[in-house]
Structure 1
């Protein structure tokens, strides 16, 4: 259970639509599709209608500051089957990076690695009261591209299993590029939040509107709020 799982969901039935990819930057083919993730009928580039509208708003705010920059949509809709696929893939990758073999892991090693994985990845829950954020059509993973079409440096890759994924990691890090990385993350945060999104406190790239995490963060920021989630799991 995450803290936001205590938030009530009252599904509003808003449309689930395709994001107009010609208006944003994207990586093609999609990174998870390349790995074989089982998306089924809908591609990763679907979201709730309000989420799509707010992405346009965020890009408008971005281009008022950086006229030729664009938002790059790394990921949006993710069915629970894909969530499970990626959680298992990330676990296997972490095992390999540590020079270990899954068949010979001790219980303590398994537990430690799973804890690392779940710092980034939501549990692939089929419980309608605890849906992974991306399975609701509410969440997007995004970054920025500059006027040359190059991805703006943020100091870590999306989905990285390290402390560098924390949004404010570079505030007190004493390396030459730290101020630039932090400024780029703040720019992304500012334009997304101005449009109506909230940012995952543990991931610089993850933003959502209308799901349990969004409502929980709104309530935490203002104890007088009584926000509930308006998007539940799709399909």
Structure 2
């Protein structure tokens, strides 16, 4: 159990609505759908109403600083089955990266791999009090695009399981290119925070607003326990097509 999962949830009941493709750059094809993740007939590009409203403001703030730039959406809502699929995918990739096979893993090797995976992936649970952030409709993975449509260099790809993914990995680098990557990460964080999002401690690309992780971070910042999660696991009846 992660510390933020102890935060109480008082779901406000806001629906899930589509992220408008004419306002934001949606990654196509969607990376997890391309792997075969079980979305069924559902789109991953959905968020709670209040989260989408904040995202619109974040992009407006970005464009005040960088005219023509846009926020590119890599991923947003994930049903529990998709979360489980991607945790298993990440586990397999980490096993293969070590030159191992899943059938021959020792208990110690399995523990090593899982410890790496859970730094970046929330293991799904059917318990409604501990939903994965993306399954609430309050979390999303994003990057930046320039006015020409070029994806901005952030120094590591989204979902990479390595220290390079940590938001401040390049902060002390003397390499000019890496300094530029840190500046881009800082810009993304600034515009998202201006709309009240908070960034995942381990992932430069992951932001949320109103879920348990967000509430836990706000409590850490302020020392106040008044912050609760107002988005829990999103159910089918909240989906607005």
Cα distance, 1:193 vs structure 2: 0.5
d(CA) in 1 for partners of 2:201 and 2:102? 30
| SS of the residue 1:170 aligns to | coil
d(CA) in 1 for partners of 2:195 and 2:180? 23
Cα distance, 1:88 vs structure 2: 0.3
Residue 162 to residue 12, structure 1, CA distance change in 2 (3 Å) = same
Match of 2:211 in 1: 211
What TM-score do the two structures reach when normalised by structure 2?
Answer: 0.95
| SS of the residue 1:17 aligns to | strand
Where does 1:87-98 land on structure 2 (aligned, <5 Å)? Answer: 87-98=87-98
d(CA) in 2 for partners of 1:111 and 1:128? 26
d(CA) in 1 for partners of 2:222 and 2:4? 15
Match of 1:139 in 2: 139
| SS of the residue 2:143 aligns to | strand
d(CA) in 2 for partners of 1:225 and 1:97? 41
Note the alpha carbon deviations across 1:38-74, whole angstroms, 9 max, x for none. 0134211001001111111011000001001100000
Cα distance, 1:204 vs structure 2: 0.5
Match of 1:153 in 2: 153
* 1:110 aligned onto 2:110: yes
Moved over 6 A (4+): none
Number of aligned residue pairs: 235
Cα distance, 1:211 vs structure 2: 0.4
Match of 1:172 in 2: 172
* 1:66 aligned onto 2:66: yes
Where does 1:212-231 land on structure 2 (aligned, <5 Å)? Answer: 212-231=212-231
Cα distance, 1:103 vs structure 2: 0.9
Match of 2:81 in 1: 81
Note the alpha carbon deviations across 1:176-223, whole angstroms, 9 max, x for none. 312101100000000000011111111100000110011110110001
Match of 1:24 in 2: 24
What TM-score do the two structures reach when normalised by structure 1?
Answer: 0.98
Moved more, 50-59 or 36-45: 36-45
| SS of the residue 1:151 aligns to | coil
d(CA) in 2 for partners of 1:28 and 1:95? 28
Match of 1:38 in 2: 38
Cα distance, 1:173 vs structure 2: 2.8
Match of 2:9 in 1: 9
Note the alpha carbon deviations across 1:131-181, whole angstroms, 9 max, x for none. 000000000100001121111000111000000111011012343312101
d(CA) in 1 for partners of 2:116 and 2:224? 34
Note the alpha carbon deviations across 1:111-146, whole angstroms, 9 max, x for none. 100110111001111110100000000001000011
State the superposition RMSD in angstroms: 1.0
d(CA) in 1 for partners of 2:107 and 2:225? 42
